[in-house]
Structure 1
């Protein structure tokens, strides 16, 4: 229909010329044979013209569609770049504020030089190290080409180094850790999965000071559970705890909370296809579970 509109003027001119010729032949009673011959020639030439115009029209339409697709792609890329810039700026604005706390605390500890300062300083440095690693992990996660190398790894290989890393915090905060060695194997990316578990453990440490943390692996269901009997999470906050920068009611009570850790957990869980679930009740503690994909691998 669009193509017919493009040749409508030419077709109208040809029709008017033919009508004029027919009128002339009719008025002067001229033989119709020359008119029919001229009509055949004109129709033939016009058909060739129409065919040529149609080929040109198709090419033009194809180019227009390609240009439209490219413009849409460019528009999408620009929007993605804008969103990327906003997300990075928002993340690092939160990150910078979060880094200030342990740095300021470290300066005060050094200035006071009180008894037990070394252990407290180690805790603050551990937090700085954790936040720095989070920033690097976040940047890598934004790169869609980030490789995830899935391979069998034992639960103990994932958990034991983290317990050792945070041992000083367990001691200083008088938090009891309950964990039994598990040689069960799961299919995961050990490095990224460790980061995810570390953030859940770190989160439990913040809100279970002086209480207990349990780490259990259900081999039948292939679920890793990190549970505490700390202050818990309110029902209103639960749907939002994995949002970037959301710290909720507990975060407002806890000066070191910024919502970055659980946000990273959610991003990693999507990349690894490890579903993360949370159950919590205010004043009674929280339970985070990581569901590993069914690999058919049990004990090594």
Structure 2
């Protein structure tokens, strides 16, 4: 702070040095001042200036700390706190208040607009789900089995996109929309597999699923969304007539791990660190018009919110293994205590 103060007062110091030099020059040139001690004058002026500088340092640094402290407190009615500020500091304070007030007003308006947009989008998604349900019921009336399977697959893809948009809209308020409880993994996994049935039949994708009797503490709805995104990727990038293996294990810490292994094209090593980035499609995604780069991004964000950790092991041509690690009891307590 002292260095800052001295740099701020360089003009004062420069002016004082100039005065000292001028006085010494005058004493040297004016014969009428020969009997006066120039050393005494210099020492007196130096002590006076140092005393003045020290006094200004104490006063101004105190005011500066008071000023900055109230800036950090977001300008809570500065005038009612009887702050000891200089006229210039008060002018700065007032101007900054005006700027922040304007920015806060703009920010609040943007928040309102964003909330309105989110509500409208949410309402639109719910409106779209109604005709989707009706179309799904109508598909049972299609007699041509091949055509019906094809239509069911396309309906499922559309349904997944709408579902993805719905959960993306709700992601910002997930803390208000989760309910942690003990669930059996088998219930959630089997339900998501059945939902993908039409797509799996079209590609000839089969599932090798263990008993999955493990019980974990999590939010069933959001966990289902995570598994849905991973399964849809596994089906999308797996070759026809291949198999997806789903199994569990317990790691060294006692945490339950859910593994989803596919026989797909795999993920390049260079792409692995970025697969959870927003809109990142990777090398494989660039070759597919269906890839949006949002599925794994949303799944990863949801997982972080409910305490689940997602890891990936993959290599090109050998498929991928997505692993979900569920929190232990003590980790769950920290999660719910946020």
Instruction: Check whether TM > 0.5.
Output: yes
- The change in CA–CA distance for 1:79 and 1:283 in structure 2 (over 3 A counts) is farther
Q: Which structure 1 residue ranges, 4+ long, deviate > 6 Å from structure 2?
A: 65-69, 78-82
- The change in CA–CA distance for 1:71 and 1:218 in structure 2 (over 3 A counts) is farther
- The change in CA–CA distance for 1:140 and 1:174 in structure 2 (over 3 A counts) is same
Matched, 1:212 2:243: yes
Return the TM-score normalized by structure 2: 0.57
Instruction: Give the match for residue 226 of structure 1.
Output: 260
Report which structure shows greater RCO (CA 8 Å, sep ≥6).
Answer: 1
Matched, 1:287 2:321: yes
The residue correspondences of 1:143-162 to structure 2 (distance < 5 A) are 143=173, 146-162=176-192
Task: Specify every segment of 5 or more residues in structure 1 that has no aligned partner in the other structure, as ranges.
Answer: 2-53, 92-112
Verify the 8 A CA contact 1:204 1:213 in the aligned structure 2: yes
Instruction: Give the match for residue 247 of structure 1.
Output: 281
The two structures, once aligned, show a CA RMSD in angstroms of 3.7
Verify the 8 A CA contact 2:208 2:245 in the aligned structure 1: yes
Pairs aligned (count): 223
State the distance in 2 between where 1:77 and 1:213 align.
48
Verify the 8 A CA contact 1:155 1:184 in the aligned structure 2: yes
Matched, 1:188 2:221: no
Deviations 1:88-132 (A, max 9, x none): 8xx9xxxxxxxxxxxxxxxxxxxxx97611101101101111111
State the distance in 1 between where 2:82 and 2:291 align.
65
User: Which of 154, 169, 190 is the equivalent residue of 1:139?
Assistant: 169
State the distance in 1 between where 2:259 and 2:112 align.
37
State the distance in 1 between where 2:83 and 2:164 align.
57
Verify the 8 A CA contact 1:212 1:230 in the aligned structure 2: no
Task: Specify every segment of 5 or more residues in structure 2 that has no aligned partner in the other structure, as ranges.
Answer: 6-80, 122-142, 331-338
Instruction: Give the match for residue 200 of structure 2.
Output: 170
Tell me the CA shift for residue 137 of structure 1: 0.5
- The change in CA–CA distance for 1:172 and 1:278 in structure 2 (over 3 A counts) is same
Instruction: Give the match for residue 179 of structure 1.
Output: 209
